[in-house]
Amino acid sequence: MPRPSTQVKFRRGKAIIGTVKLRIDIHRNDIVKVLAGKDKGKQGRVLSVDYKAAKALVEGVQMVKRHTRPNPQKQIKGGIAERERPIAISNLMVVCPTCGPARIGHKVETTGGKAHRIRICRKCGAPLETKK
């Protein structure tokens, strides 16, 4: 079953002008390259994807310092911890294992009489499916 499309609302002032449907082709455990921002050029594994906000959490990208208080009841040691912050999907590109960063295409495959859509690399045509 394909993943749901996300509606992004563009606002000017307080009025909503319109909605645009986005197809998010980045999934969890994909290796992605950062295209823009302070971490431009870095590669990392996608930890999670927020389809409503069109953002992804990438391992080792957009690190921020989080100040936490010690809480003995919850076994939390206080201090300054570094953690990832979500990055916009538009600033990420999937990395093909054979040819590097590439755009994503789709191909319909039939197995056992059942048709399903798979993601493929636009450069080399290799399938990009991750193990689920």
| Per-residue model confidence as pLDDT tens digits over 21-49 | 677 889 999 999 999 999 999 999 999 99
Question: Considering only the top CATH level, what class is 6-121?
Answer: mainly beta
Angle at 46 between CA 41 and CA 51, to 5 degrees: 110
| Residue 104 CA: distances (Å) to CA of 6, 50, 109 | 17, 19, 16
Comparing C-alpha atoms, which of 4, 39, 34, 33 is closest to residue 21? 4
Q: What is the pTM of this model?
A: 0.74
What tokens does 71 get?
Answer: 């809480």
What tokens does 22 get?
Answer: 């986005």
Ramachandran angles phi, psi of 51, nearest 5° = -70, -30
Ramachandran angles phi, psi of 90, nearest 5° = -65, -15
Query: Using CA atoms, how far apart are residues 132 and 114, in angstroms rounded to an integer?
Result: 18
The answer to whether 54 and 90 have CB atoms below 8 angstroms apart is yes
pLDDT for the residue numbered 52: 84
The answer to whether 86 and 119 have CB atoms below 8 angstroms apart is no
What would the pLDDT profile of 44-98 be if each residue is shown by its tens digit?
Answer: 999 999 988 889 999 999 999 999 999 999 888 889 989 999 999 999 999 999 9
